[in-house]
Structure 1
């Protein structure tokens, strides 16, 4: 991919930031990922304007994939559209919002882990083990490009626990929060990543053993430790 300079409103003038230009064969996805990186890394700051024309010029594409990307980012809570003003980046979660999110997760996810241990099946356990084993190396850097794969693993792991629990309402409620995306956006460090993966292994082991009490306790401990790491 070729690099293109990105400028945006809301930050002082300085050296242009280079971001990869999207490849033709995956244009829509690459434009989405390029803008997402700018948001997650705060190159375009919270509440900064997302100008369709400026982004199209910077990424050297038409406005169509930019608009499609912004709609998708809006559905994830990373962008918002206001009448007569267009798109802007959403604010980062406040400490109070982080507390609310963990309170919600603390109510449903330990129960889901216990239920998953009761309802587990071999196909589901195989997927869960494969997900835990998929993290071979932990990112050392703190940019979105560094921790993107780990954030994806975090989201998939918790979704798989909800799927094993067999409660589709719970799964939909969890998916709507996009919690891992917003928590990683707020703060990521390498120790956070290593602790997360170790705790996932403990949860998965309890689920695989058919130990609902152990799975509940492991998930509860994981969420409380994650909350402490992020606040």
Structure 2
């Protein structure tokens, strides 16, 4: 069986190494991709010196990247032990996360439909239009743009709901990042984009009832597509 360090090196070989001019962000994105693709396995200890050697950088940008990943909930810092990769959501956490989303996000969509202005409609349309293609392969690099779109689209609806606590609450949870970390599967992206279109059109029509139903259908679809991961 290949060692964990060997898996990391093999994964890095398929990626470009960080460029010095945008070093900190590149190291962050590179290590994040290793975590998302499980090349750095859940629960694995993160050796800063080894990561710095593999990435051909100093330890400083690696430390900064791991601190940022801790704020994303992807790494955990423990006294005297350093950083480890955060565990995946377990089944109960997954169900609790979706339970929270079902309580808040259909309501947010209905409020957005009631409150949104033509300028807000245009902003939602522009956000949706950033998805130019749906990835076919199952890797974080392929899904990176879709993950960002998913987070932006939902965050904008949260803002348009008029509740000033909703958007920052979800931002701290990073739900889309942790859900995508569970599984990248063929067809998941296309279905999510189609569901987003239904939500967008309901909000643009100003139909609170339809927007609430479309968001509920989207959450149901997302949850049901991922439940088999736990089987």
Q: Please tell me the TM-score bracket, short chain as reference.
A: over 0.9
Question: What are the superposed Cα offsets for residues 183-209 of structure 1, whole Å, 9 maximum, x if unpaired?
Answer: 000011121101100000000000010
Does structure 1 residue 33 correspond to structure 2 residue 29? yes
Task: Tell me the equivalent position of 1:63.
Answer: 59
Q: Deviations along 1:33-89, whole A, 9 cap, x unmatched?
A: 010011011111000111111111111111111111011000000000000100010
- 1:5 maps to none
Among 199, 206, 226, the alignment partner of 1:210 is 206
TM-score of the aligned structures, taking structure 2 as reference length: 0.93
The alignment yields a C-alpha RMSD, in angstroms, of 1.5
Mapped partners of 1:125, 1:15: distance in 2:
43
Q: In the alignment, does 2:46 pair up with 1:50?
A: yes
- Corresponding residue for residue 185 of structure 2: 189
Inter-partner Cα distance in structure 2 for 1:205 and 1:211: 9
Instruction: Identify if the C-alpha distance between structure 1 residues 198 and 123 changes in structure 2 by more than 3 Å, giving closer, same or farther.
Output: same
Q: Determine which of 131, 134, 139 is the counterpart of 2:135.
A: 139
CA distance in 2, matches of 1:220, 1:78: 27
Which structure features the higher share of strand residues?
1
Deviation of 1:20 after TM superposition, in Å, equals 2.2
The list of structure 1 runs, each at least 4 consecutive aligned residues, that deviate by more than 2 angstroms after superposition, is 10-16
Unaligned runs of 5+ in 1: 1-7
State the alpha-carbon separation in 2 of the partners of residues 223 and 149 from structure 1.
Answer: 20
C-alpha distance in structure 2 between counterparts of 1:13 and 1:226, whole Å: 33
Q: Counterparts of 2:112 and 2:167 in 1: how far apart (Å)?
A: 12
Q: Residue 20 of structure 1: SS of its match in structure 2?
A: coil
Judged with a 3 Å threshold, the aligned counterparts in structure 2 of structure 1 residues 12 and 67 are, in CA distance, closer, same or farther, namely closer
- Structure 1 residues 163, 179: CA separation in 2 closer, same or farther (over 3 Å shift)? same
What are structure 2's unaligned runs of at least 5 residues?
none
Q: Of the candidates 87, 96, 100, which is equivalent to residue 83 of structure 2? A: 87
Q: Give 2:126's match in structure 1, choosing from 127, 130, 133.
A: 130
Residue 12 of structure 1: CA displacement? 7.7
Task: Kindly indicate whether the alpha-carbon contact (under 8 Å) linking 2:146 and 2:189 is maintained by their aligned counterparts in 1.
Answer: yes
Is the 1:40–1:144 contact (alpha carbons within 8 Å) kept by the matching residues of 2?
A: yes
Q: Distance in 1 between matches of 2:221 and 2:8?
A: 39
Give 1 or 2: higher helix fraction. Answer: 2
Give secondary structure in 1 for the equivalent of 2:4: coil
**Of 153, 157, 160, the match for 2:156:** 160
